[in-house]
Amino acid sequence: QQQVKQSPQSLIVQKGGISIINCAYENTAFDYFPWYQQFPGKGPALLIAIRPDVSEKKEGRFTISFNKSAKQFSLHIMDSQPGDSATYFCAASYYGQNFVFGPGTRLSVLP
Partner 1 sequence: ETGVTQSPTHLIKTRGQQVTLRCSSQSGHNTVSWYQQALGQGPQFIFQYYREEENGRGNFPPRFSGLQFPNYSSELNVNALELDDSALYLCASSLEGQRGYHEQYFGPGTRLTVT
Q: For partner 1, which residue of 5, 15, 51, 58 counts as binding (CB under 8 A)?
A: 51
Q: Which is nearer to partner 1, 46 or 110 (CB)?
A: 46
Q: Strands, E, within the chain: which ranges?
A: 4-7, 10-14, 19-25, 33-38, 45-50, 56-59, 62-67, 72-77, 86-94, 97-101, 105-110
- Window 70-89: residues binding partner 1 (CB under 8 A): 89
- Does 100 bind partner 1 (CB under 8 A)? Our answer is yes
d(Cα 48, Cα 62) in Å, to the nearest integer? 7
- Does 37 bind partner 1 (CB under 8 A)? Our answer is no
- Does 93 bind partner 1 (CB under 8 A)? Our answer is yes
Q: Which residues pair with 106 in a beta bridge?
A: 10, 87
Q: Which residues bind partner 1 (CB under 8 A)?
A: 6, 31-32, 34, 36, 41-46, 49, 51, 89, 91, 93, 95-104
